[in-house]
Amino acid sequence: MAGGHAFREGVSCSFRARNSIAMPCALCRFGKGGNMPKVGIIAGSGFYEIEGVGIRELRKIDTPFGEPSDAYRICEISGREFVFLSRHGTPHHIPPHRVNYRANIWGFKDLGVERIFAVNAVGGINRAVAPGDIVIPDQCIDMTHGRAATFYEGDEVVHIDLTDPYCRETRGILLRSGKAQNVDLNAGGTYACMNGPRLETRAEIEFLEKIGADIVGMTAMPEVCLARELETCFAAIAVVTNYAAGISDRKLTTTEVVETMKVSLGRVKDVLMGALSLVPEERNCDCSHALRDARI
Ligand code: HPA
């Protein structure tokens, strides 16, 4: 694998020492790039910017895995900073099966991000959710194929634990923020990730319902898994933008997806911005040492 990055002179990098693939290192980045925000937000269909948020800097990052979807926007609101990335690029031109998930997640790590909040547009399978509802998923079923889904493809064999794919602490932050901001959130749900870019057949949705999926989208995987491989905390805000195929009589359209996301933007923003103020300085979950015991 190509890559690695320049280390600040005189600073030894324990992260790199623990990994034979040259991992990006927050410590080195702080030395090079100044104090960077520790929180990242990645958002997809219909969510391309956060209104009213100042952009301090644009950062284009090259990674050993190629180019991320877009430049990272270093943002600030009420004295709190975060890094924003548009998953499908600007303008929206990268379909879900062609997103460079590895580069996107690597870029966040390279900037020093420890915790990612993802925004996903999803179809509702469970009859208890309707368009406009928001779910904070706690489980995920990977139905994708052919996506580059690991950073460990070389000599080193790593089996990362994904029993609970979403970070417990980071989900808790979103749920507490929802309460504080008066935004109704469904606390849990299983996200089935399909490959796309086509939408599902009626039979596929019936199958997904039978195996326990509540919502369906196209981008959670391998994003969730790659974040864990880089010991980055990850939680998602899944906005139900439509009933999944066959759940209602209405024909599915991408216009409905984007329009429903637009209507939900204010509530999603409130939850995200509220969450920024609830992020603790130190992480108290297992994500930060996820690679411990994961190597053969
Ligand atoms: N299926 C898959 N992905 C989606 C959907 C859907 O119904 N809605 C938004 N993203």
Distance between CA 93 and CA 266 in Å, rounded? 24
With a 6 A CB cut-off, is 119 part of the ligand 1 pocket? no
Residue nearest to atom 9 of ligand 1 (CA): 122
Rounded to the nearest angstrom, the distance between the alpha carbon of 99 and the centre of ligand 1 is 16
With a 6 A CB cut-off, is 19 part of the ligand 1 pocket? no
Rounded to the nearest angstrom, the distance between the alpha carbon of 216 and the centre of ligand 1 is 6
* pLDDT for res 19: 45
Among 222, 216, 230, which residue's Cα sits nearest to residue 112? 230
pTM as predicted: 0.89
Mutate to test the pocket of ligand 1, among 120, 195, 199 (most ligand atoms within 8 A of CB): 199
Number of domains present in the structure of the chain: 1
* pLDDT for res 78: 85
Q: What angle (nearest 5°) sits at the alpha carbon of residue 287, between those of residues 101 and 195?
A: 30
φ, ψ of residue 168 to 5 degrees: the values are -60, -50
Rounded to the nearest angstrom, the distance between the alpha carbon of 121 and the centre of ligand 1 is 7
Cα-only R_g, the chain: 18
Q: Which atom of ligand 1 is the closest one to the Cα of 245?
A: 7
Rounded to the nearest angstrom, the distance between the alpha carbon of 266 and the centre of ligand 1 is 20
Specify if 267 maps to a domain.
yes
Specify if 7 maps to a domain.
no
With a 6 A CB cut-off, is 257 part of the ligand 1 pocket? yes
With a 6 A CB cut-off, is 121 part of the ligand 1 pocket? yes
Distance between CA 4 and CA 245 in Å, rounded? 44
Distance between CA 56 and CA 236 in Å, rounded? 24
Q: Which atom of ligand 1 is the closest one to the Cα of 244?
A: 7
* pLDDT for res 21: 57
* pLDDT for res 54: 87
Specify if 3 maps to a domain.
no
* pLDDT for res 14: 33
Specify if 217 maps to a domain.
yes
Residue nearest to atom 7 of ligand 1 (CA): 123
Q: Which atom of ligand 1 is the closest one to the Cα of 200?
A: 1
Distance between CA 293 and CA 83 in Å, rounded? 30
Rounded to the nearest angstrom, the distance between the alpha carbon of 65 and the centre of ligand 1 is 27
With a 6 A CB cut-off, is 260 part of the ligand 1 pocket? no
Specify if 4 maps to a domain.
no
Enclosing domain of residue 261: 14-289
Specify if 230 maps to a domain.
yes
With a 6 A CB cut-off, is 241 part of the ligand 1 pocket? yes
φ, ψ of residue 83 to 5 degrees: the values are -110, 130
With a 6 A CB cut-off, is 244 part of the ligand 1 pocket? yes
Specify if 5 maps to a domain.
no
Specify if 295 maps to a domain.
no
Rounded to the nearest angstrom, the distance between the alpha carbon of 194 and the centre of ligand 1 is 9
> What CATH number is given to the structural domain containing 123?
3.40.50.1580
Q: What is the pLDDT along the chain (296 residues), one digit of tens a residue?
A: 333 333 223 233 333 433 445 565 544 444 344 567 799 999 987 777 787 788 999 999 999 999 999 999 999 988 889 999 999 988 888 999 999 999 999 999 999 999 999 999 999 999 999 999 999 999 999 999 999 999 999 888 999 999 999 999 999 999 999 999 999 999 999 999 999 999 999 999 999 999 999 999 999 999 999 999 999 999 999 999 999 999 998 888 999 998 999 999 999 999 999 999 999 999 999 999 999 989 88
